[in-house]
Amino acid sequence: MLKGKTALVTGSTSGIGLGIAKALAKEGANIVMNGFGDIEGSQAEVAALGVKVAYHGADMSKPAEIEAMMAFAAAQFGQVDILVNNAGIQHVARIENFPVERWDAIIAINLSSAFHATRLALPAMQAADNGKGWGRIINVASIHGLVGSAEKSAYVAAKHGVVGLTKVTALENATTGVTCNAICPGWVLTPLVQKQVDAKALAQGISMAEATKQLLGEKEPSLQFTTPEELGALAVFFCSPAGVNVRGVAWNMDGGWTAQ
């Protein structure tokens, strides 16, 4: 379905980003990857799906490096047709104890990077298809883009911002072939969430299984994690003909979290 298209997925060397990159690759899209961690291994996983893969190590807190990454993607594959803004970090502390430098980093990476990548991707998307436009911008927000949780002020603020940015991007391109939507996962078992499970088990002296059950039980009625594969399938839907008039949504995959 996406053969000949190029998708750039930030934070795609593990977790949700890698799951989305692989799902888009299975539909034929060439992939530009970004992130830290197992760079070679993750690239190999995507390349094994039969598409072209490139990697750029932009620090998503630095606008100049984001600009370099977007220019790199265009040089490699012509243009970015699908932009997935996924890069994110987390820090947990009460507001009065929240380190200022951590606040700044979370806002920069979780929110501002999506703005910078979007503003740079839009002109080519708007000019595509003989000026009618074609593009898909998918922002990986969070259930915390819709609701709050204590001790996550920067993350919640950033993710609410991502949902707002999604709506404005969709509205500004509503009469074109460029759409923008946000995915709002609940608990996904990524390295970021595993650290929270580990911390809970250590603090309470309980097993990993019990810590996992407690974590899910606090918020997620289904008592199961959403998977990167499920999130990847939703990203593919947004890129499909069925998603052509889905614009500006914040689509929660949260096991019933916000239904309560």
**178 touches 125 (CB < 8 A):** yes
Confidence of residue 194 (pLDDT cuts 50, 70, 90): confident
Q: Tell me, yes or no, whether 104 and 196 share the same domain.
A: no
Rounded CA-CA distance 260/257 in Å is 6
Q: Tell me, yes or no, whether 110 and 199 share the same domain.
A: no
The reported pLDDT for the residue numbered 190 is 80
Nearest CA to 57 out of 44, 46, 45, 73 is that of 73
Residue 20, SS3? helix
Ramachandran assignment for 4, one of left (phi > 0), alpha (psi -120 to 50 degrees), beta (any other): left
Q: Tell me, yes or no, whether 61 and 141 share the same domain.
A: yes
Active site residue 55: no
Residue of 55, 77, 103, 155 marked catalytic: 155
The whole-number average pLDDT for the span 135-158 is: 97
Q: CB count, 10 Å around CB of 133?
A: 18
Q: Is the pLDDT of residue 258 over 80?
A: yes
Q: How many structural domains does the chain have?
A: 2
The whole-number average pLDDT for the span 187-206 is: 88
The whole-number average pLDDT for the span 253-258 is: 96
CB-based burial, 42-73: b 16+ in 10 Å, e otherwise: bbebbeebebebbbbebbbbebebbeebbebb
Three-state SS for 186-240 is CCECCHHHHHHHHHHHHHHCCCHHHHHHHHHHHHCCCCCCECHHHHHHHHHHHHC
The reported pLDDT for the residue numbered 215 is 87
Q: Tell me, yes or no, whether 83 and 124 share the same domain.
A: yes
For the domain that residue 84 is a member of, what is the CATH number?
3.40.50.720
The whole-number average pLDDT for the span 128-145 is: 96
Domain that holds residue 193: 189-225
Q: Tell me, yes or no, whether 118 and 202 share the same domain.
A: no
Confidence of residue 189 (pLDDT cuts 50, 70, 90): confident
The whole-number average pLDDT for the span 18-39 is: 96
The reported pLDDT for the residue numbered 12 is 96
